[in-house]
Amino acid sequence: MKEILGNIASPKGFSADGIHTGIKKRKLDLGWIVSECPSSVAYVQTTNKVKAAPLILNKRTIQTKGKIQAIIANSGIANACTGEKGMEDAISMQQQTSESLSINQDLICVASTGIIGQRLPMVKVKKGIQQLNIDGNANHFAKAILTTDLTTKTCVVNETFDQTTVTMAGVAKGSGMIHPNMATMLAFITCDANISTETLQVALKTNIDKTFNQITIDGDTSTNDLVLVLSNGLAKNKEILPNTEEFTTFCNMLEHVMRSLAIQIAKDGEGATKLIEVTVDEMPDEITARMIAKTVVGSNLVKTAIYGEDPNWGRIFAAIGYTQSNFDINNVDILIEGIPVMKGSTPITYNIDTMQNKLKNKDIHININMHQGNTSGTAWGCDLTYDYVKINALYTT
């Protein structure tokens, strides 16, 4: 597998575009992804009981045909908590996209992100959809889905399947309200592999828990979280089937793209200055290892300690304790940036100057050894800063 330069339209048969319609004052706020033909589709959406209208519509749409050919997405307004009118607006976006592309309405998914409780300015949105270009600038799509994000997030890889090159690309947005179980987080992945909808869904579910579900910025789960994967088969490879070597290779590609996007989201957390990666080793099962890692990286006390460049291992150990998982409280090791700070649940002496220099790094690694088994789990997050409070005090959600 090779990571390459590209964008969401890099796989064969895909195009994308993004424009400014006036939902936001100046920045791009509307875009689409289009495939030349109907694609196999897999999706995961928020576990929040309060779901935005587009998510409810998408579930119905995907169940109708089991194929998707286009995604229309806006930023600035979430179209959540907007009642029947909000659903009408989501359907209207679907209908206008159908007319513009001359494809069946049941082959179009809708995504929205932004302020909750406001109606979309549908006159502007419809006009914007008419202005989107099938041969547009795919890099603009990555910008059109951003809200409080500071950077776009993309990843493109390719792999050879029996002498046939398959390309996979991902784009995401997310900065605040990130605590997915399948955060707001939107992620779209395109691929030209020949794979069925059923097999694609298995691949997505295989990877979601160890990638997107392992990031946390502020502990809030959004009403609009969505991961959509489209694969149109235009690479013309032999169909990828479950329980085969090719399926394993495909899953590895998908995990790489999803993990890269997840880390980019965590790194771009609102007000963040540091990425935090927590790895828990030697647990009896991966689920518990991941749960402990995510709990530690989600601890506000740990986050603020990292922001303050304070090697406060006590906060880490306390977070492990309140997970209520089974472990020997007298046999835990903790390392911060590779420096042992606790061994056998007992603090050990380390060089303060070396540690302080290490904590100035932009990427901070915390390793926890539980001495309970042979599996591990990793989670990603960011520090908690004054700017996070400022951003969310001033930004209406």
Q: Which two tokens stand for residue 112?
A: 């929205």
Residue 318 scores a pLDDT above 70: yes
Percentage of the residues of the chain whose pLDDT score is greater than 90: 82
Q: How far apart are CA 35 and CA 149, in angstroms?
A: 27
Residues marked active site are found at 184
Does 127 show up as a binding residue in the annotation?
no
Q: What is the pLDDT of residue 150?
A: 84
Q: What is the mean pLDDT of residues 66-84?
A: 96
Q: List the one residue out of 263, 236, 220, 258 whose CA is nearest residue 379.
A: 263
Q: What is the mean pLDDT of residues 225-233?
A: 95
Contact 166, 235 (CB under 8 A): yes
Does 374 show up as a binding residue in the annotation?
no
Q: What is the pLDDT of residue 177?
A: 46
Question: 246-280: per-residue pLDDT in tens?
Answer: 999 999 999 999 999 999 988 887 778 999 999 99
Q: What is the pLDDT of residue 180?
A: 47
Q: What is the pLDDT of residue 239?
A: 98
Q: What is the pLDDT of residue 396?
A: 60
Q: How far apart are CA 285 and CA 197, in angstroms?
A: 29
Contact 85, 119 (CB under 8 A): yes
pTM attached to this predicted model: 0.89
**Residue 184, amino acid:** T
Using DSSP's 3-state secondary structure scheme, residue 259 falls into: helix
pLDDT tier at 33, thresholds 50, 70, 90: very high
Residue 102 CB-density burial (10 A; 0-12 exposed, 13-18 middle, 19+ buried): exposed
Q: Which residue has the tokens 């993990």?
A: 259
Does 147 show up as a binding residue in the annotation?
yes
Q: What is the pLDDT of residue 221?
A: 64
Spatial CB neighbours of 91, under 8 Å, sequence gap ≥ 6: 57
Q: What is the pLDDT of residue 181?
A: 43
Q: How far apart are CA 272 and CA 80, in angstroms?
A: 26
Left, alpha or beta for 177 (phi > 0: left; psi -120 to 50: alpha)?
left
**Residue 219, amino acid:** G
Q: What is the pLDDT of residue 46?
A: 83
Q: Which two tokens stand for residue 131?
A: 């202005």
Q: What is the mean pLDDT of residues 56-76?
A: 96
All domains of the chain in start order, with CATH: 2-268 (3.60.70.12), 275-394 (3.10.20.340)
Question: 95-147: per-residue pLDDT in tens?
Answer: 999 999 999 999 999 999 998 999 999 999 999 999 999 999 999 999 999 98
Q: What is the mean pLDDT of residues 343-354?
A: 96
- Sheet with 339-343, strands from edge to edge, namely 215-216, 375-382, 275-283, 363-369, 333-336, 339-343, 346-347
Q: List the one residue out of 221, 168, 206, 174 whose CA is nearest residue 14.
A: 168
Average model confidence (pLDDT) for the chain?
Answer: 93
Q: What is the pLDDT of residue 121?
A: 97
Q: What is the pLDDT of residue 185?
A: 81
Does 392 show up as a binding residue in the annotation?
yes
Residue 179 scores a pLDDT above 70: no
Q: List the one residue out of 360, 388, 359, 186 whose CA is nearest residue 272.
A: 388
pLDDT tier at 175, thresholds 50, 70, 90: low
